[in-house]
């Protein structure tokens, strides 16, 4: 099983960052790689089991299912149902933790998945750098960091 883990600190209160990232259908509003997104079957974007269907800026389509969401613990867990990436059994979690020393929050984005051994390094590096870190960098810019 391949694993990806990226963490960072954002110079904003955790609640403010959570308000920005909480919406399972809101990825296009804060992540620069996402062109558009919709929740299938007109379900609420915070309903466990709902599916977001989104397009990347390059035109690739991805479908993901919401597996867990907690406003109290500030995390979102989801799986990939369909993707152009050569992987299976992908489960990811985006988690925020308040930093008590000032108006900052610690953010973590992790994923585990199965893939061919030959593709593992490229996928781990690509997801970690080109997806997770790019998202964190966009949040930092938004919150002035």
Sign of CA dihedral 21, 32, 77, 2: negative
Length of the chain: 145
pLDDT band at 145 (very low <50, low <70, confident <90, very high): low
Q: 14: closest CA among 91, 121, 94, 118?
A: 94
- Euclidean distance between CA atoms 96 and 72, whole angstroms: 10
User: Per-residue pLDDT tens for 45-56?
Assistant: 999 999 999 999
Question: Tokens representing 80?
Answer: 């990939």
Task: Label residue 135 by pLDDT band (50, 70, 90).
Answer: very high
Residue 37, strand partner residues: 54
Per-residue pLDDT reduced to its tens digit, 56-111:
999 999 999 999 999 999 999 999 999 999 999 999 999 999 999 999 999 999 99
Residue 26: domain span: 2-142
- Count structural domains, the chain: 1
Using alpha carbons, select from 39, 41, 53, 116 the residue that is nearest to residue 81.
Answer: 53
- pTM assigned to the model: 0.95
For position 48, which CATH number holds?
3.30.530.20
Task: Pick 115 or 144 by higher pLDDT.
Answer: 115
């Amino acid at each position: 099983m391949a694993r990806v883990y990226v963490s960072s600190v954002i110079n904003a209160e955790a609640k403010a960052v959570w308000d920005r990232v909480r919406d399972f259908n809101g990825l296009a509003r804060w992540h620069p790689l996402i062109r558009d997104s919709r929740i299938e079957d007109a379900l609420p974007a915070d309903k466990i089991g709902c599916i977001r269907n989104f397009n990347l800026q390059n035109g690739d389509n991805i479908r993901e299912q919401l597996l867990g969401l907690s406003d109290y613990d500030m995390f979102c867990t989801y799986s990939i149902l369909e993707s152009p990436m050569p992987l299976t059994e992908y489960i990811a979690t985006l988690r925020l933790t308040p930093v008590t020393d000032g108006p900052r929050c610690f953010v973590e984005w992790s994923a585990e998945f199965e893939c061919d051994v030959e593709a593992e390094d490229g996928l781990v590096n690509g997801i970690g750098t080109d997806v997770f870190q790019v998202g964190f960098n966009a949040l930092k810019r938004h919150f002035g960091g």
